[in-house]
């Protein structure tokens, strides 16, 4: 996946930069990108895109005077695919934003376009206390046999969703709800575009889950957050409206052990992903 996009101007100044996942040696990378741009100004690439390996990354670069474009992707990525996406972004920039950049004006609207092309992986985190039905929800989404006993998740279980939404692979992070794993939550929701907070719809559990909503707002303020009022088949269940009121986020009903909820749930997540994109555009 594309990890970073850097556009440098005439004197090696950074005109635009965006990073998609925390890379450990960020400052070293930026330093490298700047000196790469400096070096490229002395050779003529004839507007071709070239690439080179750097540790675990692959760096793609091209020059369209006066701009140098540098993209950082994973070494394991399909290079042709990255180059194609890079080509699209370069074209949009040159057509609609180059003049603004040259005049030192803000590049309004560029970020959203970049996201649309560069984000090929959507992270959806499923958060909630032990036994509320997170893993069951994951299996339901993947169309797998539904577990009827509670086999607690250890740490996190990460699975892909076969569906594609806007060219994006959806990765589901099913976080363990047991309290001994709570130290992982804050770090593991990092970079999630959507966070689903699952409750079992009992009053006690929903009240406790308010804390999870605050955690998410604090750690990933740009993520789209939705609530799930699960176990609606049980007599103790609060209505989804009531659960939503308490949590303070849009909440949907669910019976995760009932396969007939599958399509509805998929639509909800699709919508959340799209809305998440819109919201980050607005911000």
Partner 1 sequence: MSYRVLVKEDSSGSNIYAWPVFLILVEEMPEAVFIVQYDDYQGFLVKKRHPSTSRLDEETLNLLHVAHEEGDEELRLHDLDNRRYVSFKSREYPGWLVGYVLREETDFGPNRELYRGMSRLMLALMQVSPEGVDLNSIIRHERTLPELTKEQRLAKIYFTPSSALLLERLQEQGVESARALNLWLSNQVQTDNINIKEVVRPLLESGVVHVEIIEGKAEMVFLLRDIFGYRAPPVESLLNAKAYMPHISDTYEGYVKDFFSPAPPAKGYNPTIPIDEPDSPIMEDRERVFEVIHDNFNYIVLESLRDRPKSTNMISEETALPKDIVSDVLGTLESERIAVHFEDEKMWALVTDPTIKTFMPEYILPTIARRVSEKKLDRDAARRYLQLLMETWSEKND
Ligand X SMILES: Nc1nc2c(ncn2[C@@H]2O[C@H](COP(=O)(O)OP(=O)(O)OP(=O)(O)O)[C@@H](O)[C@H]2O)c(=O)[nH]1
Provide the 3-class DSSP secondary structure of residue 276. Answer: helix
Q: Is 136 in the site for Mg ion (CB under 5 A)?
A: no
Q: Is 156 in the site for ligand X (CB under 6 A)?
A: no
257 binds, among ligand X, Mg ion, partner 1, none (CB under 5 to 8 A by kind): ligand X
Alpha-carbon gap, residue 108 to 123, rounded angstroms: 25
CB of 248 to ligand X, least distance (A): 21
Pick the stretch among 43-51, 150-158, 230-238, 260-268 that binds partner 1 (CB under 8 A).
150-158
155-171 in b/e burial notation, b at 16+ Cβ within 10 A? eeeebebeeebeebbbe
Q: Is 132 in the site for ligand X (CB under 6 A)?
A: yes
| Among residues 43, 103, 148, 183, the one that binds partner 1 under rule CB under 8 A | 183
Task: State in Å, rounded, how far the first CA of the chain is from the last one.
Answer: 24
Neighbours of 267 (CB within 10 A): 11
Q: Is 227 in the site for ligand X (CB under 6 A)?
A: no
Pick the stretch among 12-20, 83-91, 106-114, 133-141 that binds ligand X (CB under 6 A).
133-141
What Cα–Cα distance (Å) separates residue 118 from each residue in 19, 86, 90, 147? 10, 8, 12, 36
Q: Is 145 in the site for partner 1 (CB under 8 A)?
A: no
80 binds, among Mg ion, partner 1, ligand X, none (CB under 5 to 8 A by kind): none
Q: Which of residues 17-76 bind ligand X (CB under 6 A)?
A: none
Strand-pairing partners, residue 18, are 5
| Among residues 57, 62, 135, 205, the one that binds Mg ion under rule CB under 5 A | 135
Residue 260 is given by DSSP the state: G
Task: Give the CA count within 13 Å in the CB-facing half-sphere of 57.
Answer: 21
Pick the stretch among 29-37, 63-71, 107-115, 185-193 that binds partner 1 (CB under 8 A).
185-193
* Of the candidates 58, 2, 61, 3, the residue with the CA atom closest to the CA atom of residue 34: 61
Binding mask 176-195 for ligand X (x = CB under 6 A): xxx-----------------
Binding mask 65-104 for partner 1 (x = CB under 8 A): ----------------------------------------
Q: Residue 19 or 111: which CB sits closer to partner 1?
A: 19
Alpha-carbon gap, residue 37 to 67, rounded angstroms: 9
Q: Residue 41 or 157: which CB sits closer to Mg ion?
A: 157
As to burial, measured by CB atoms within 10 angstroms (0-12 exposed, 13-18 middle, 19+ buried), residue 272 is: buried
Alpha-carbon gap, residue 228 to 148, rounded angstroms: 19
Q: Tally the residues of the chain.
A: 283
Q: Is 134 in the site for ligand X (CB under 6 A)?
A: yes
Peptide bond into 228 cis (omega under 30): no
244: part of which helix (H) or strand (E)?
helix 240-247
Q: Is 125 in the site for ligand X (CB under 6 A)?
A: no
Q: Which residues bind ligand X (CB under 6 A)?
A: 128, 130-136, 147-153, 176-178, 230-231, 233-234, 255-257
Positions in the binding site for partner 1 (CB under 8 A): 1, 21-22, 24-25, 55-56, 121, 123, 154-158, 171, 173, 176, 180-181, 183-184, 187, 190-191
């Amino acid at each position: 996946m594309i990890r970073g996009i850097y556009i440098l101007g005439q004197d090696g100044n950074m005109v635009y930069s965006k990073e998609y996942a925390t890379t450990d040696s960020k400052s070293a990378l930026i330093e490298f990108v700047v000196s790469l741009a400096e070096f490229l100004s002395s050779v003529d690439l004839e507007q071709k895109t070239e690439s080179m390996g750097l540790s675990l990354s692959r760096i793609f670069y091209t020059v369209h005077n006066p701009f140098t474009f540098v993209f950082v992707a994973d070494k394991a990525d399909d290079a042709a695919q990255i180059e194609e996406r890079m080509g699209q972004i370069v074209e949009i920039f040159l057509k609609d934003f180059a003049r603004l950049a040259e005049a030192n004006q803000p590049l309004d609207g560029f970020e959203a376009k970049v996201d649309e092309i560069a984000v090929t992986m959507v992270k959806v985190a499923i958060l909630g206390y032990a036994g509320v039905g997170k893993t069951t929800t994951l299996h339901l989404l993947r169309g797998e046999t539904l577990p009827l006993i509670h086999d607690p998740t250890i740490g996190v279980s990460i699975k892909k969703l076969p569906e594609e939404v806007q060219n994006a692979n959806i990765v589901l992070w099913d976080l363990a709800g047991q309290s001994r794993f709570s130290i992982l939550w804050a770090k593991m929701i990092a970079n999630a575009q959507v966070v689903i907070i699952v409750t079992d719809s009992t009053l006690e559990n929903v009240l406790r889950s308010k804390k999870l909503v605050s955690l998410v707002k604090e750690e990933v303020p740009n993520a789209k957050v939705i609530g799930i009022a699960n176990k609606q088949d049980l007599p103790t269940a609060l209505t989804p409206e009531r659960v939503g009121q308490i949590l303070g986020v849009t909440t949907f009903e669910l019976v995760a052990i009932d396969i007939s909820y599958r399509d509805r749930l998929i639509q909800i997540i699709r919508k959340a992903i799209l809305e998440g994109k819109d919201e980050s555009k607005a911000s």
